[in-house]
Amino acid sequence: MFNLGKWFKKENPLQQELITWLSGFRSEVFPVGIAAEWLNDVSISQAKLKITLQLPFAAKQSAPEIAAYLNGKSGQECEVECRVSLPKQNQFKDIKHIVLIASGKGGVGKSTTTVNLALALRDEGAKVGILDADIYGPSLPSLLGLLDARPEAADDKTLLPLKKHDIAAQSIGFLVPAEQATVWRGPMASQALQQLLNETAWGELDYLLVDMPPGTGDIQLTMTQKVPASGAVIVTTPQDLALADAQKGIAMFAQVNLPILGLIENMSFFVCNQCGSETAVFGQHGGKRLAMRHGVPLLAEIPLHVGIREQGEAGSDSRHDELAPLYQSAARQLASTLYYQTHTATAVEIVITDD
Ligand SMILES: Nc1ncnc2c1ncn2[C@@H]1O[C@H](COP(=O)(O)OP(=O)(O)OP(=O)(O)O)[C@@H](O)[C@H]1O
């Protein structure tokens, strides 16, 4: 039978061992382990050791992986619950991180990826918003099933964001007819972005994803400079043309010293729903090579999948079983990178000896 009482005797070193095991856990999301201060609670329920962790970034769904690791280490049955609470740090108003989602080339699935990343961050325990800054082709209203919705005024200066699937959303598409925005020139477009950001009562958000207009020209550069972002994610397809444009995107963000948090390769391959075979319609591993060349993480390789188009058309938040884990893993990596980018306190102990 389990002898769980031993965990809670003060003099028993097992409690300390739990902390040691957690600090030794390694994954892409926890590159330097799980810190002792994130251990929130330890209790026993139905002969199981229950551990609650309070994580400083959105990675709630890491719980089963951590539980399996602790099972192996302890030989006891362990259950892990992860809660998420980002440290106080306001990048802009009550928003903790603003992340630009960009693509060099149009039509690569940037808006679809933005919405799926937002849903995944929500499922990882974060408060999330999306700002659709794709002034020339706002697709957020349709991707969230909010085509006829209009934001309400919070007061005479600010608008309330719309809410769908527990995500706060603002888009030029809610405010201006599409044909009107498409004729805007650069300064008007970047001013519209600033206004949407400043004059929306976002409330408290952990992550605000900004769906940028495609391209790497002056408009995108000016927009990038006007938004207090923590970093950018670049979406590409494996086609040479898209990759060449994605490379221009990397260069553009480097020019303004904005960290690239990762690359997402969309439409990486097509899976036949009859025989299950994979076809690399647009070429193979281009995203991986580009990511390696620039030393940025490849957050995901998302297949060309009919479920993605159907989900987008329905404005739904239910993702196909095959696809959800890909977006979840990308979201956890993104959240982790943002955390370690601002908390780089990997203590290095220097010991001076007489030898
Ligand atoms: N992985 C995928 N599998 C199947 N269809 C996809 C996938 N990704 C995107 N799509 C579809 O491709 C079309 C274009 O996607 P989306 O609007 O997200 O691209 P975009 O890069 O934001 O475009 P734009 O440059 O015009 O802003 C949509 O119909 C979308 O449903």
pLDDT, tens digit, for every residue of 174-216?
888 766 666 666 677 778 888 889 999 999 999 999 999 898 8
pLDDT, tens digit, for every residue of 49-65?
899 999 999 999 999 99
| CATH class held by domain 4-84 | alpha beta
Domains of the chain, by residue range, sit at: 4-84, 95-342
What's phi and psi for 126, nearest 5 deg? -105, 160
Distance, CA of 169 to CA of 131 (rounded, Å): 6
Distance, CA of 69 to CA of 261 (rounded, Å): 27
Any ligand 1 atom below 6 A from CB of 312: yes
pLDDT band at 222 (very low <50, low <70, confident <90, very high): confident
Residue nearest to atom 9 of ligand 1 (CA): 109
- List 45's β-bridge partners, or say none: 48
pLDDT band at 156 (very low <50, low <70, confident <90, very high): confident
Query: 260-271 and 278-279 as β-strands: parallel, antiparallel, unpaired?
Result: antiparallel
pLDDT, tens digit, for every residue of 20-36?
999 999 999 999 999 99
Distance, CA of 244 to CA of 220 (rounded, Å): 17
pLDDT average, residue stretch 100-118:
94
Residue 314 gets which letter from DSSP? H
Q: Give me ligand 1 centre to Cα 174, in Å.
A: 20
Distance, CA of 333 to CA of 300 (rounded, Å): 10
Q: Is the pLDDT of residue 2 over 50?
A: no
CB of 218 closer than 8 Å to CB of 256: no
pLDDT band at 1 (very low <50, low <70, confident <90, very high): very low
pLDDT given for residue 134 in this prediction: 84
What CATH number should be reported for the domain whose range is 95-342? Answer: 3.40.50.300
Residue nearest to atom 6 of ligand 1 (CA): 309
Any ligand 1 atom below 6 A from CB of 343: no
Q: Is the pLDDT of residue 295 over 80?
A: yes
Q: Is the pLDDT of residue 80 over 70?
A: yes
Residue nearest to atom 31 of ligand 1 (CA): 309
**pTM for the predicted model, two decimal places:** 0.91
- Closest ligand 1 atom to residue 311 Cα is 31
Any ligand 1 atom below 6 A from CB of 304: yes
Any ligand 1 atom below 6 A from CB of 110: yes
pLDDT average, residue stretch 73-88:
92
Q: Which of 237, 309, 326, when mutated, tests ligand 1's pocket best, judged by the most ligand atoms within 8 Å of its CB?
A: 309
Any ligand 1 atom below 6 A from CB of 310: no
Q: For 17-21, 104-108, 267-271, 346-350, which range has the lowest pLDDT when averaged over its residues?
A: 346-350
Q: Which of 100, 111, 112, when mutated, tests ligand 1's pocket best, judged by the most ligand atoms within 8 Å of its CB?
A: 112
Q: What is the largest CA-CA distance in the chain?
A: 76
Residue nearest to atom 11 of ligand 1 (CA): 309
**Which phi-psi region, left, alpha or beta, contains residue 216 (left: φ > 0; alpha: ψ -120 to 50)?**
alpha
Residue nearest to atom 16 of ligand 1 (CA): 109
Instruction: Kindly provide the residue ranges of all beta strands, DSSP E only, lying in 138-240, ordered along the sequence.
Output: 162-164, 167-171, 205-211, 231-236
Crossing angle of helices 218-226 and 240-255, in 10° steps, is 40
Any ligand 1 atom below 6 A from CB of 61: no
Q: How much is the ipTM here?
A: 0.97
Any ligand 1 atom below 6 A from CB of 302: yes
